[in-house]
Chains A and B, each alone.
Chain A
Amino acid sequence: MSKSNASRSGAWSLSFNKLRTFLSKPENVILLLMGIVLTISTISPVVAIIKDTFAIHPGTIDAYLSKKSSGYSTINYTDLFTSRLAVKNLWQPIANTLLLAIGTCIFAIVYGGSFAFFVTRTDMKWRKYLSSIFIFPYIMPQWTLAVVWQNLFNSNAVTGTSNGLLATMGITMPSWWCIGLFPSIMVLGLHYAPFAYILIGGIFRNMDSNLEEAATILNTPRPKTLWRITLPMIKPAMLSTVLLVFGGAMGSYPVPHYLKLATLSTKYVSLNAKYKGEASILAIIMMCLGGAIMIVNQLGLKSRKNYTTVTGKSGQISKISLGKAGRILIACIFVFLTFFTSIFPILSFGFETFLPNPGDYSFLYTGDSSNLTTKWWATSENITENGMYGQKGILYNKTIWSAYKGTLLVSFSCALVAGTLGTMLGYAVSKKRRSKWASYVNSVAFLPYLMPSIAVGAAFFVLFSSDKINLFNTYTGLIIVGTIKYIPFASRSALNSMLQLSGEIEESAIIQDIPWTKRMTRIIIPIQKTSILSGYLLPFMTCLRELSLFMLLCTQGFILSTTLDYFDEMGLYAFSSGINLLLIVTLLVCNGLVNKLTGASLDSGIGG
């Protein structure tokens, strides 16, 4: 009896010691806690939306076909997959979505990656200026570039609308250029190229150039060096870019909506009124596509385990010389391109706020200043005449300023929480990268990003709009959803950079018995400051103009992006342009502040 008690107490003591040892490692605690929290926050809405695909919704097709007003049925699946509308509502949108996502990835990586290469690895001219200006399309809400695209290329002859800038000069672009897949890829590609630049540029900048230099010494041809050395080294960043851009493009609602491409996300919205349950199935399909991409990425990450080429931040980065003419010529090409993607939209936003009617460029033709107005800024009364629709001018518009405050609150909160949690997660996963639990937590944290924003918003809308948990139209709701959605920004960014850190650096600190907090604040974070700051700035920037994620969770005047979209939909481009300018100024000020306070920033950390 006493022997058995002793053995039981020994087993308890062994288990307790094991647990204590397990919990003594910060990475284990982080992974355990994050695993639990993220599983609940990620899986619950997914389960909710799966359940929604079986629910009968009053006034929709499932109620009509099942002849029931409540309960559950599989009728939504049967109808979506087998009815005569299957091609239109399902297969065509899937094909378009995949083409859009793949096309956007390719464009963003090629354009953003090349730019990152020229900025970080060559002696191209005006790198600092170009680096700052290149990220502008990412700062701006993605559909505003679509609106700029329309203002440039639409024409009475082809799109049946009023003439855009080129059409007024007698140049008419074909239909495939103005609407559909091509412009959607271009707009989203331009929007996400800064993303590729930030991620790939971060790696380029931190990458040890010893191997490339060794290849040069061994007289290896440049293409071979690029193919066999440089690309494998930036592979993690490229994979991360593909993952993030693919998910972003797939879940983009406003760009395909404005440029008339039927994708899963636009179908989700258009089917929602009559085919609510079927729309939820589309959301599930988007999630599955996201999951498939993540599996591909996991395979890529596993295959990378044999590379141990990078061992910390090298101080020996050598710049490739482009030659006297080359460095100016390539810079000029980028100056030209960034003018149209970054400067022109801002100029056009500014100009739009002084036009008497939206898109009315009478002033340009006549030079008559009576064809300009300050009414969009300075109207202080609630009037319906002259196209104001009861709105006061931007300077006096309470809705805009209250939405601005709301946006700042949500963005700062999301950035702070997502940035911190994501960095910790990236650190913990990098430490336990061969553990299945770490891999699970990493995947579950990343899942919300791969799920299209609109689907995540829809899932949380279902979860948050009941009588028990009702966070609809609350900042708390937006912050929770934003945080869950944006943790991957920080975790990916942190994971990429942590994976490049040799374990020996921290191990040597552990041997000297330096506590974890000190190791983090004195060693890890300072070394990977740029990537970690990206983990805070990216959620902030994204949150500032996020629409697809939040559009179902709050009303129009709650945050700036929904307000901006409202004005764009209404055709009140002066207001939306003014809001765009406000967003850009805010981002620049924040970026500048971070730069001043920490010495690093989103762009200068890479390109400066």
Chain B
Amino acid sequence: MKKLALSLLVLCLSLSLFAQGTVEPVKAVELSPVQQIIQQAQTMTLEELARKAIEESNGKTFYGLGNSSRGKTALPLFIEYLKSLDPSYKMEYEWQQPKNNTIFEMLSADGAKEVGTYAMTLIQDGNQIESKMVQTGVLDRFIPKDWADANGVKAETYKGYLALQTLNKIFMFNSTGAKYFDNCWDFVAPGEHGLFMDIDSEPVGRNFLYMLTSDKYAAVVKSAFDALSASDKAVFQPTIDAVAKDAKELGLGANGKYALAWIKLWMESYNAQTDDGPICNTLVTDSATDQFGLIVYSKLRSVQESTNVSKNNVKVAAYEDGYKGFGGYGYCHYLFVTDNSPLPWTACAFEAYMTCTQKGFSAWGKDIGGYSSNPLVVAENDAVYNHSKGGYDANGNLVFPANNDRGLTWWTEQGNLVIEDPEYCASVAFTVGSWIDALARYNH
């Protein structure tokens, strides 16, 4: 029996070692079949791509995976477009939105197959994308010709990822009470517990904290601190002094200690939630007096007016007069083709459709808080939806002021939106990142 047990153990070891043979990163010595298709696709117009897609996917099922649920809305519009070129065209589709950062595990697992399930992905968190997906050869970058032309770059020499859009997560507060927030330090004042998606569940929240330590945004935090009253400053000063040494050790700039202090207070106070949806549901109720959250702006669209619930129960902090500091943060949704994509032409065509046409972007563009990476689409989208007047009804009456989206330019320049830079995030992920991990957390 001992021999039998030993043999079984050897068998198991072999099996598990054999099974793990693909953990090693793939070194792309030569172009994979999908990369070869992408190389050709990058020289084609949307219509040319669409014709290739029709040839490839007619009668098939398209599987997409994304951090946004709206891929599901964009796909039927894409199919409609392909049908306009070939009325006999037919394609089934399925769109999945994994939670809790499992999208990376799913893509890695699917990437180990010879032919994957997923044709493409819409994914966030540039930091993880680079190290886990691009360097390991799981995902391939595709830059549509039309998009490159619109942005004045060349597809073959462009080094960045293809961004579908920039999204903003902004501070909003329930305005049914008397409390008022006019400085980003107000959100970390004693007793405040902002509602925020757990940074372990959604690492772009973690990236936002990393970005605050960059010189550019640390200066914004410092300037907001300078605008506080003397008594308010006295509340935060001990924390700033306490982290000054850490800021130095972490190699941060002169204002790094202000950023670290804000991060420390935020980590110790924010009330972690599973998604922005439940946070929005809470903030818009009349019982959530004085509560605030840092959530995706577009969530306001999902609110249905009722006796106890209204979009008018919330205010956008950065829109308030005299607001100081950053009003939220911005991050990108990137588009990639999987390296073992079963439908690479269709994936490229779909990505081109979403990034180069107003209708393709409309699944996101019809609502506030999402801004296309294609300037032509931004202009067309504004012409169609006019989000800067999104709070007005058909008669020109202002009914929901929070819905008047001031646009990405305003948010970055006036609202001091903290924009994610994957390179900076990667550089501090295990220095500032580990420092953040060591902090105490509220309700943990």
Q: Which residues of A pack against B, CB within 8 Å?
A: 35-36, 39-40, 43-48, 51-52, 55, 57-59, 61, 63-65, 69-70, 84-85, 88-89, 156, 159-163, 167-168, 175, 179-180, 257-258, 260, 262, 269-274, 356-362, 365-366, 368, 370-371, 373, 382, 384-391, 399, 436-437, 440, 461-470, 472-473, 551-552, 555-557, 565-566, 568-572
List chain A residues, Cβ under 8 A from B69: 389-391, 570
A-B contact count (CB 8 A): 259
Q: From known contacts A156-B288, A163-B287, A557-B96, infer whether A382 and B105 are also in contact, taking CB-CB under 8 Å.
A: no
**Residue contact B306 to A356, C-beta cutoff 8 Å:** yes
Contact B366 A384 (CB under 8 A): yes
User: Are A162 and B131 in contact (CB-based, < 8 A)?
Assistant: no
Q: Is the CB of B24 within 8 A of A70?
A: yes
| Other-chain residue from B97, B132, B437 in contact with A556 (beta carbon distance below 8 A) | B97
Give the distance to chain B from A12, nearest Cβ to Cβ, in Å: 19
Closest to B274 in A: A569
Q: Which of A272, A373, A387 contacts B101 (CB 8 A)?
A: A272
Residues on B with C-beta less than 8 A from A551 are 102
Cα A425 to Cα B243 with chains together (Å): 61
Please determine whether B13 and A359 come into contact, CB atoms closer than 8 angstroms.
no
CA–CA, A194 to B249, complex, Å? 55
Whether A260 touches B309, Cβ cut-off 8 Å, given contacts A163-B287, A468-B19, is no
Max chain B Cβ within 10 angstroms of own Cβ: one of A180, A262, A389, A566 = A389
Q: Are B19 and A48 in touch, CB under 8 angstroms?
A: yes
Q: Residues of A contacting B275 with CB < 8 Å?
A: 569-571
Q: Which residue of A lies closest to B201 (CB)?
A: A270
| Distance between Cα atoms of A52 and B16 in the complex (Å) | 10
Cβ-defined contact, A357 with B303, below 8 A: yes
Note all chain B residues with C-beta closer than 8 A to A52: 20
Is B271 within 8 A of A159, CB to CB? yes
B16 touches A48 (CB 8 A): yes
Q: Is the CB of B70 within 8 A of A384?
A: yes
A269 and B72 within 8 A (CB): no
Partner of A362 from the list B22, B70, B127, B306 (CB cut-off 8 Å) is B306
> Is there an interface contact between A361 and B271, defined as CB atoms closer than 8 Å?
no
In Å, the complex CA distance between A384 and B367 comes to 9
Please name the residue on chain A nearest to B132 by beta carbon: A59
Q: Is B278 located at the chain interface by the 8 A CB criterion?
A: yes
Q: List 24 A-B contacts (CB under 8 A).
A: A40-B8, A44-B12, A48-B19, A59-B128, A59-B132, A270-B198, A270-B200, A270-B201, A272-B105, A356-B309, A357-B304, A360-B308, A362-B307, A371-B306, A436-B1, A440-B5, A466-B19, A466-B21, A467-B114, A470-B109, A472-B106, A473-B117, A555-B98, A571-B274
Contact A58:B437 (CB < 8 A) given known A51-B16, A358-B281, A390-B70 = no
Distance between Cα atoms of A341 and B284 in the complex (Å): 30
> Is B136 at the interface (CB under 8 A from chain A)?
yes
Q: Is B261 an interface residue (CB 8 A)?
A: no
User: Which residue of B22, B271, B309 is within 8 Å of A466 (Cβ)?
Assistant: B22
**Which of A161, A180, A365 is B288 in contact with, Cβ under 8 Å?**
A161
Across the interface, A467 reaches (CB within 8 A) one of B21, B73, B136, B277, namely B21
Please give the distance in Å from B30's CB to the nearest CB on chain A.
Answer: 18
Given A362-B306, A571-B277, A385-B438 contact (CB < 8 Å): no
Please indicate which of the listed interface residues A52, A257, A362, A365 has the most CB atoms of chain B within 10 Å of its own CB: A362
- The answer to whether B97 touches A566, judged by C-beta atoms less than 8 angstroms apart, is yes
Q: Which residue of B110, B114, B198, B433 contacts A472 across the interface (Cβ within 8 Å)?
A: B110
Report the minimum CB–CB distance from A574 to chain B (whole Å).
11
B233 within 8 A of A: no
Assuming the contacts A70-B24, A70-B25, A84-B438, asked whether A161 and B282 have C-beta atoms less than 8 A apart, the reply is: yes
Instruction: Select A36's contact among B8, B193, B429, beta carbons within 8 Å.
Output: B8
Given A58-B135, A360-B306: A552 and B102 interface contact (C-beta under 8 Å): yes
Known contacts A389-B302, A390-B73, A473-B110; is-contact A571 B288 (Cβ 8 Å): no
Q: Assess the B16–A273 pair: CB atoms within 8 A.
A: no
> Chain A residues near B8 (CB, 8 Å)?
36, 39-40, 43
Q: How far is the CB of B289 from chain A (nearest CB, A)?
A: 7
Is the CB of B291 closer than 8 A to any CB of chain A?
yes
From A572, which residue of chain B is reached at the shortest CB distance? B277
State whether A43 and B9 are in contact (beta carbons under 8 Å apart), knowing that A51-B17, A69-B25, A571-B274 are contacts in the complex.
yes
Interface 0/1 of B12-35, CB less than 8 Å to A: 110111111111110000000000
B112 at interface (Cβ–Cβ under 8 A)?
Answer: yes
A36 cross-chain contacts in B, Cβ below 8 A: 4, 8
B11 on the A face (CB < 8 A): yes
Partner of A160, one of B25, B271, B438: B271
Alpha-carbon distance between A39 and B433 when the two chains are bound, in angstroms: 41
For the complex, give the distance between the alpha carbons of A272 and B108 in Å: 13
Question: Bound complex: CA of A210 vs CA of B23, how far in Å?
Answer: 62
Q: Are A461 and B16 in contact (CB under 8 A)?
A: no
Q: Give Cα distance in the complex from A368 to B308, angstroms.
A: 12
Residues of B within 8 A of A162 (CB): 281-282, 285, 287-288
| With known contacts A386-B304, A387-B304, A555–B291 Cβ distance under 8 A | no
**Are the CB atoms of B307 and A371 closer together than 8 Å?**
yes
User: Could you say which residues of chain A place their CB within 8 Å of the CB of B18?
Assistant: 466, 468-469
The docked-state distance in angstroms from the alpha carbon of A512 to that of B285 is: 76
Contacting residue for B113 out of A385, A387, A470, CB 8 A: A470
Q: How far is the CA of A85 from the CA of B198 in the complex (A)?
A: 18
Please report the C-alpha to C-alpha distance between residue A85 and residue B301 in the assembled complex, in whole angstroms: 40
> Knowing that A84-B438, A386-B304, A467-B22 are A-B contacts, what are 6 other residue pairs whose CB atoms are under 8 Å apart, sorted by A's residue number?
A39-B5, A70-B25, A161-B282, A167-B287, A260-B272, A390-B72
Chain A residues, Cβ within 8 Å of B401: none
Question: Do A161 and B5 touch (CB < 8 A)?
Answer: no
Confirm or deny: B430 has a beta carbon within 8 angstroms of a beta carbon on chain A. Answer: yes
Q: Are B19 and A462 in contact (CB under 8 A)?
A: yes
**Contact A387 to B135, CB < 8 A, known contacts A44-B16, A161-B195:** no
> Chain B's nearest CB lies how many Å from the CB of A39?
4
Which of B19, B200, B287, B303 neighbours the largest number of chain A CB atoms within 10 Å of its CB?
A: B19
Known: A272-B101, A273-B200. A463 touches B19 (CB 8 A): yes
A394 to B203, CA, bound (A): 31
> Is B151 among interface residues, defined by CB-CB distance under 8 A?
no
Set of chain B residues within 8 Å of A387, measured between Cβ atoms: 302-304
- Chain A residue at minimal CB-CB distance from B131: A59
The answer to whether B11 and A40 have CB atoms under 8 Å apart is yes
Interface string of B190-208 (1 = CB under 8 A from A): 0001010010110100000
Are B99 and A566 in contact, CB atoms less than 8 angstroms apart? yes
Interface bits B202-217 vs A (CB < 8 Å: 1, else 0) = 0100000000000000
- What are the residues of chain B within 8 A of A258 when measuring CB–CB? 274
Check B99 against A362 for contact (C-beta < 8 Å): no
Contact B100 A269 (CB under 8 A): yes
- Interface residues in B53-109 by Cβ distance below 8 A to A read 65, 69-70, 72-73, 76, 94, 96-102, 104-106, 108-109
Are A359 and B288 interface neighbours, CB within 8 A? Answer: no
With both chains docked as a complex, state the minimum distance between the C-beta of B74 and any C-beta of chain A, in angstroms.
9
Q: Is B443 an interface residue (CB 8 A)?
A: yes
Looking across the interface, which residue of chain A has its beta carbon closest to that of B15? A44
A79 to chain B, nearest CB (A): 10
What residues of chain B lie closer than 8 Å to A469, measured between beta carbons?
A: 18-19
Can you name the residue of chain B whose Cβ is closest to the Cβ of A270? B200
Q: Which residues of A contact B12 (CB under 8 A)?
A: 39-40, 43-44, 46-47
Neighbouring A residues of B110 by C-beta, 8 Å: 472-473
Q: Which residues of B contact A555 (CB under 8 A)?
A: 65, 96, 98, 106
Residues of chain A with a CB closer than 8 A to B16's CB = 44-45, 47-48, 51, 462-463
How far, in angstroms, from A572 to B281 measured CA to CA in the complex? 10
Instruction: Assess whether B36 is interfacial by the CB under 8 Å rule.
Output: no
Please indicate the chain A residues that have their CB under 8 angstroms from the CB of B282 in the complex. Answer: 161-162, 359
Q: For the complex formed, measure the closest distance between the CB of B56 and the CB atoms of chain A, giving whole angstroms.
A: 22
Asked whether any CB of chain A lies closer than 8 Å to the CB of B434, the reply is yes
A557 contacts B99, CB within 8 Å?
A: no
A360 touches B309 (CB 8 A): yes
**Given A40-B8, A382-B76, A384-B366; A465-B108 close (CB under 8 Å):** yes
